[in-house]
Amino acid sequence: MGSFRFLTAGESHGKGLTCVIEGLPAGLPLSEAAIAKDMARRQGGYGRGGRMKIEQDHAEITAGVRHGKTLGSPLALWIQNRDWVNWTEKMAVEPVDVEIERVTRVRPGHADLPGAVKYGFDDVRNVLERASARETAARVAVGGVAKRLLGEFGVTFNSYSLSIGTVRGAVSGGPDWDAIEADAVRAAGPATSAAMIDAINAAKQEGDTLGGEVEVRVAGIPLGLGSYVQWDRKLDGRIAQAICSINAFKGVGFGAGFEGTLLPGSQVHDVILPIAEWGGRQWPHATNNHGGIEGGMSTGEEIVVRAAVKPIPTLAHPLPSVDLETGEKVEAHYERSDVCVVPAAGVVAEAMIAIVLADAWLEKFGGDTLAEVRRNHDSYVAELGPRHRRA
């Protein structure tokens, strides 16, 4: 059992999404406005479909907060699906008298086939409603709460679109995160952004979709979150599992990631600087090719995570597939969809990383109140220097 855990419930075209969070300390200032920014960021980005024009996602706090501060009890969030009004019969909780058309044409690359066969459904609607990326709205809301907790200690989160299709552009130096947030595809610069938009337009014209890669950067995490002593306590392993649990994510790297395999060890490993070169930081490194995690533990450097997002499987020009009922060849089912979700995917990745880090934070510095967590954190950080300085 983790220190910070959550559950979500809800279908894509149902009444809405429910989130329950357990493990928050009492006394954390929290408002719906604190969650709203990331909810809006998830809905943005060039290449999104018509659903984003319908929804105006807002996470309502329905339990666990009184007079602006958490109570230490479970926190409950509710996100209304505005599109529900168009699906009241198809997604009704109670039986309906009208005949509902079943979905039997499965989509390659989606949960349709394994989900329907596993659970014995004759209607793929029962699978695709929950397997939809709509569920990530709930995760972003939970991630907003996790960010609010970590923000009390100066932890910051940023992300950008590292690539879309074959167009790639990485940030360098001190990134202008405000400019990236204002960009239509959340790219590293104007030239990269223009090329990414052209690629999305070309894919849309062809009735196709595009994937890409996102990069998330987290600053302010101290040395020592996670552990090397068991496989399931390693911080990078926990982050990788969280990322791969998001719809469409198919690969994870840290720091240089897969590019580090092309270089010899002498050019990859992060040299630890002597005390004379600390410059106000404790145990700094000359580089950060390992992305702020070594041996399953945070190093105190910026945590850098790169993640691969596959193209959306719902295509305007559907791929060949089979019918669930007959096994015969058909065109895959098509329903309104996005062309590219990479810009929004970075926001969802931020949320899941924030959830993992909040869990690891409370595991390390946990207490029943925010004040207790702060005392534990401050005491630990004060003891991080060389042993002779602590004596």
pTM for the full predicted model: 0.95
Q: Are 305 and 243 in contact (CB under 8 A)?
A: yes
- First-to-final CA distance of the chain: 36
Q: How many CA atoms lie within 13 A of 251 on its CB side?
A: 12
CA dist 22 → 70, 99, 127 (Å): 11, 41, 27
Q: Give the distance, in angstroms, between the CA of residue 55 and the centroid of all CA atoms in the same chain.
A: 19
From CA 333, how far away is CA 274, in angstroms rounded? 60
Domain range holding 109?
5-390
Q: Are 64 and 77 in contact (CB under 8 A)?
A: no
CATH number of the domain that residue 30 is part of: 3.60.150.10
Report DSSP state, residue 247: T
Count of domains in the chain?
1
Which spans in 44-135 are helix H? 51-54, 112-119, 125-131
| pLDDT per residue of the chain (391 residues) written in tens, 0 to 9 | 458 999 999 999 999 999 999 999 999 999 999 999 999 999 888 876 655 556 679 999 999 999 999 999 999 999 999 999 999 999 999 999 999 999 999 999 889 999 999 999 999 999 999 999 999 999 999 999 999 999 999 999 999 999 999 999 999 888 999 999 999 999 999 999 999 999 999 999 999 999 999 999 999 999 999 999 999 999 999 999 999 999 999 999 999 999 999 999 999 999 999 999 998 888 999 999 999 999 999 999 999 999 999 998 888 888 899 999 999 999 988 776 789 999 999 999 999 999 999 999 999 999 999 999 999 999 999 998 887 665 5
